Amino acid sequence: MTEDKRKTQLLELFSTMSGKTKIVEPMKNIHGTLRDSDAIEREVALVIREIIEQGIFKTSLKPIQLAKLVTSFYAGKNDTEIARELGDEKLSKTVARARVRLKLFRELDFRMPFDKAKMEDLVASGKTMKEVSDELGVSPSTLREYRHVIGEQEDPTIDPYICRIRDVMEDRDLSEQMTRSATADNLGESIDITEAELIDVT
């Protein structure tokens, strides 16, 4: 018998015989004291609203959508998956640009199909973007995308806000760790009590 199945059977028997709710009550306390995902997103949204109100960058996405973008990025979702979570897969490019603007970079963002130093030299020479893209063998749109990534990476304007968002997300990670630990501790305690009661009646 697997450990999970054994625990489930013990809990069911414990509940039937004693009518106790020891496994439930501690969980209520956990959810009452640690912030849930909605609270995290609202807190991130407040920071993003400040960014937008300061005119640091513009996007068609609302603050709460951008907050969802942030939490989904931290959850490992790609741009298309995030767009789906926002209700429209066609928003994937909008998501990608907003993500880069918020300095939520992916390794793929820096896999440029050309030499970065060469691009910078060509731009500094005064050539047009069409001429630069032709020299590099990429489309103007591809060149714009990578220049956007480089520009956002080097621009410090948004950094104080990004630090605040990261602090919120780090607090979330800590809360999740505390929740998992508390849940495991309470489940273990309840199983121990259940087994003790079973011994008493058998």
Residues in CB range of 79: below 8 A, 6 or more apart: 92, 93, 95, 96, 99
Residue 36: per-residue pLDDT: 76
* Same-domain check for residues 94 and 170: yes
Q: 84 lies in which domain range?
A: 21-103+158-176
* Same-domain check for residues 35 and 87: yes
Residue 13: per-residue pLDDT: 52
* Same-domain check for residues 122 and 132: yes
Look at the alpha carbons of 97, 101, 106, 112 in this order and tell me if their dihedral is positive or negative.
positive
* Same-domain check for residues 79 and 166: yes
pLDDT digits (tens, 9 = 90+) for 48-61: 999 999 999 889 99
* Same-domain check for residues 38 and 98: yes
* Same-domain check for residues 169 and 86: yes
- Contact assessment for residue 13 and residue 194, using Cβ atoms and an 8 Å cutoff: yes
Note whether residue 200 is domain-resident: no
* Same-domain check for residues 27 and 125: no
* Same-domain check for residues 49 and 87: yes
Note whether residue 182 is domain-resident: no
At which residue do the structure tokens 């621009």 appear?
Answer: 155
At CA 63, angle to CA 60 and CA 66, rounded to 5?
A: 75
* Same-domain check for residues 41 and 118: no
| HSE-CB of 112 using CA atoms within 13 angstroms | 21
Note whether residue 27 is domain-resident: yes
Give the count of domains, the chain. 2
* Same-domain check for residues 130 and 50: no
* Same-domain check for residues 132 and 35: no
Residue 66: per-residue pLDDT: 97
Reduced to 3 states, what is the DSSP secondary structure of residue 160? Answer: helix
pLDDT digits (tens, 9 = 90+) for 108-160: 999 999 999 999 999 999 999 999 999 999 999 999 999 999 999 999 999 99
pLDDT at 199 over 50: no
- pTM of the full predicted structure? 0.67
Question: Which of the four pLDDT bands, split at 50, 70 and 90, describes residue 186?
Answer: low
What's the whole-number mean pLDDT along residues 55-74? 95
Residue 171: per-residue pLDDT: 79
